[in-house]
Each structure stands twice: as structure tokens, then as C-alpha cells.
């Protein structure tokens, strides 16, 4: 059967089985017009991931702002590329977004004209959150309520924050046309209503789409393995895995906590090349933990669903919530999340 060659089909992997029957085990497509997928066929996850060894936080990172990101629960969203977003107009965007938030909040309330609800929105750039030089600069959006006190130097209280970033999103950046800005990962902390309002403003103004980033048990297992292997000097916490067992009438949750030294020792015996993690190593690590649990409790954890992973570095929940605890590994965590966000968009 002749296939047309216009799209640029390039079979990269072909394997012949020993029996002599010709099977194809993996074929990669390259759709030249749109984007090149690193993991193409449906549901495939990468076989290996690189862990950045050194702290890639760039020198001009504001340490106070970085500290603001840590130890907070962030809800994850993936964002499609934004059209005609310009870094020069941030003040203008702040003003428009303030007005939008104020009107949305006042909907349905009978308020006198000219009354200022005391909401101030600021958009600012967040320097230093970059994986490679082609990454776009991160944007921080904050909603602060103006203090009601009459003092001159009374501080505004931040009620909601959200930030856009994209760490090492190279494969998406290459394929996107000129006027688009790729800031694929959005993290929000604060009231859900504000998130919805800010999200709808961005969607309307820049023609992008926000969707909740859920993390599958496979990716949570990757996170457990990768984060256990990272070296942490202070605030070492136990590695905890939470599993959900589908039961009637109410589902059962099993929490499995492992001493951090033991978990790291196990991971060190499993990992072969430092700086690189393969799917087999992750499977082996998780299988060891499952068989240990089975030996003691006779419960097959492999038949349950992994819903939450907490390590000393960060903790992640399958609904798309994350909390990062160490600034040294911030870029590594964000790089993994950006990869998940981009694969969800694609």
C-alpha cells in the first residue's frame, strides 16, 4: 500500500523478532507543520528523563519572590500559547484586569457608582525562572485587597496569586508561530472564584485555553522515584505515598510512609546512571516498595491507584495540586510539570 510522503513520515524504530515475522515495535511520526512529538503514540510516556544536576536557578532570581513560591499549595493548570501577549504592556493589563475583577465581583450586588471595592491586581515579571534561554519570562499575577485602615504605609493583603512559567519547553517553542507566547504552566493559590475570573479574562484577551492539569498514577510514580533520589541537606521528611482503593460504599485510603534514608538507599541501588532515570528503574523501585508492603500486610498495592506523593522536595496530588519545599530543586520540579502540561496540550 503506497503511503503519501508529504507529511514527512519517518519511521525511526523497527525491530525484527527472532521468529522471523516482521513486527514494528515503535514508529515515530513527524508532522512537519505543527509540532514534533517526543512521545507520539497515544498514551505513551517517555522511557527516560534527565534530572538537572546543578541548581539552575539563575543569578538574577529574586530570593524573596522565590521564597514566596515555596511551602504553598498550588493548583496546576496547563495553558495553550497566548496570542499577542506583550511584556511591555503589563501595566495596561493590570489596569484592565483590575477593572474586570471588580466588575465580576460586583455582579448581582446593588452598589453605588464609583465605589471602589478595594481590589488591586498587579502583573509583574518573575526573573530567574528559566530552564533554557529560549524560555519566556515568567509572569506573576497578584490580587491584593486594599487595606481599609487609614494609615499611609498600611500594606495590602494579597488574597490570590497565580503565576505563569515555562521551563525547558523547547519542543513546543520551536513549532509555535511568531505572535504566540508559550507560558504553558499556570499555578494558582487562593480562592477558586478569583482563579475562574482571572482565567476567563486571559482566555478572552489572549485566545488561549486553561485546563486543569491532572497527574496520572504513572507520572506520580515517576515523581516519587525522581524526588526520592534528590539530595536534601535540611528539613528531610519521610517519603509518603497515598493509595486509593475502590471499595463500596466508600473508598479506602492507604498511606505508606517510608523513612527518607531507607528510601534514598533503595533508590541508589536501583539507579544505574546518575542524572538519568528510566522507566524500568521507576518500575523496579515501586515494585520493591509494593512487595515489601505485601510481605507484611498481604495487600497488593499494585492493584490500587496512587493518588498522592510527598517527599522532602515536594508533594503532588493526582488532582493537580503541588507544594514545593526546597528552592534548590524548584527548577527540576517545574521542568517536569512543564513537560506534563505540554503533553496535555498536545
| Pattern 208-237, other proteins, x by CB under 8 A | ------xxxxx--x----------------
Residue with smaller CB distance to other proteins, 39 or 65:
39
Stretch of residues binding other proteins (CB under 8 A), selected from 13-21, 70-78, 160-168, 334-342: 13-21
**Cα–Cα distance, 72 to 214 (Å, whole number):** 18
- Residue closest to 190 by CA, chosen among 153, 228, 156, 141: 141
CB of 142 to other proteins, least distance (A): 30
> What residues between 281 and 300 interact with other proteins by CB under 8 A?
300
Are 314 and 325 contacting, i.e. CB atoms less than 8 angstroms apart?
A: yes
| Number of alpha carbons in the 13 Å side-chain half-sphere of residue 250 | 1
Are 293 and 301 contacting, i.e. CB atoms less than 8 angstroms apart?
A: yes
CB of 21 to other proteins, least distance (A): 6
| Pattern 162-201, other proteins, x by CB under 8 A | ----------------------------------------
Among 17, 109, 110, 149, contact with other proteins (rule: CB under 8 A): 17
- Residue closest to 136 by CA, chosen among 162, 169, 161: 169
| Pattern 19-38, other proteins, x by CB under 8 A | x-xxxxxxx-----------
* Binding residues with other proteins: total (CB under 8 A): 35
151 binds other proteins (CB under 8 A): no
The residues binding other proteins (CB under 8 A) are 1-3, 9, 11, 15, 17, 19, 21-27, 41-45, 47, 214-218, 221, 279, 300, 302-306, 318
Amino acid at each position: 500500500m503506497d503511503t503519501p510522503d508529504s507529511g514527512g513520515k519517518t519511521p525511526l524504530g523497527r525491530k525484527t523478532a527472532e521468529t522471523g515475522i516482521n513486527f514494528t515495535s515503535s514508529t515515530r511520526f513527524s508532522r512537519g507543520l505543527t509540532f514534533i512529538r517526543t512521545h507520539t503514540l497515544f498514551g505513551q510516556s517517555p522511557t527516560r528523563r534527565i534530572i538537572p544536576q546543578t541548581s539552575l536557578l539563575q543569578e538574577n532570581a529574586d530570593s524573596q519572590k522565590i521564597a514566596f513560591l515555596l511551602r504553598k499549595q498550588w493548583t496546576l493548570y496547563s495553558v495553550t500559547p497566548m496570542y499577542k501577549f506583550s511584556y511591555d504592556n503589563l501595566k495596561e493589563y493590570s489596569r484592565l484586569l483590575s477593572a474586570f475583577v471588580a466588575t465580576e465581583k460586583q455582579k448581582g450586588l446593588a452598589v453605588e457608582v464609583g465605589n471602589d471595592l478595594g481590589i488591586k491586581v498587579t502583573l509583574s515579571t518573575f526573573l530567574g525562572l528559566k530552564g533554557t534561554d529560549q524560555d519566556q519570562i515568567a509572569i506573576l499575577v497578584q490580587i491584593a485587597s486594599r487595606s481599609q485602615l487609614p494609615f499611609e504605609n498600611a500594606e495590602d493583603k494579597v488574597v490570590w496569586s497565580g503565576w505563569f512559567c515555562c521551563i525547558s519547553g523547547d519542543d513546543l517553542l520551536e513549532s509555535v508561530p511568531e505572535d504566540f507566547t508559550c507560558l504553558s504552566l499556570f499555578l494558582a493559590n487562593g480562592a477558586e472564584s478569583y482563579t475562574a475570573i482571572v482565567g476567563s479574562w486571559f482566555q478572552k484577551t489572549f485566545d488561549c485555553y486553561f485546563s486543569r492539569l491532572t497527574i496520572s498514577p504513572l507520572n506520580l510514580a515517576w515523581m516519587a522515584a525522581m524526588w526520592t533520589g534528590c539530595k536534601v541537606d535540611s528539613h528531610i521528611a519521610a517519603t509518603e505515598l497515598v493509595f486509593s482503593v475502590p471499595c463500596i460504599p466508600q473508598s479506602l485510603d492507604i498511606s505508606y510512609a517510608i523513612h527518607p534514608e531507607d528510601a534514598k538507599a533503595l533508590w541508589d541501588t536501583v539507579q544505574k546512571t546518575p542524572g538519568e532515570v528510566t522507566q524500568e528503574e521507576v518500575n523496579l523501585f515501586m515494585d520493591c516498595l509494593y512487595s515489601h508492603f505485601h510481605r507484611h500486610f498481604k495487600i497488593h498495592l499494585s492493584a490500587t491507584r496512587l493518588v498522592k506523593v510527598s517527599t522532602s522536595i515536594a508533594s503532588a496530588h493526582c488532582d493537580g495540586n503541588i507544594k514545593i519545599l526546597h528552592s534548590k530543586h524548584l527548577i527540576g520540579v517545574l521542568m517536569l510539570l512543564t513537560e506534563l502540561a505540554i503533553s496535555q496540550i498536545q
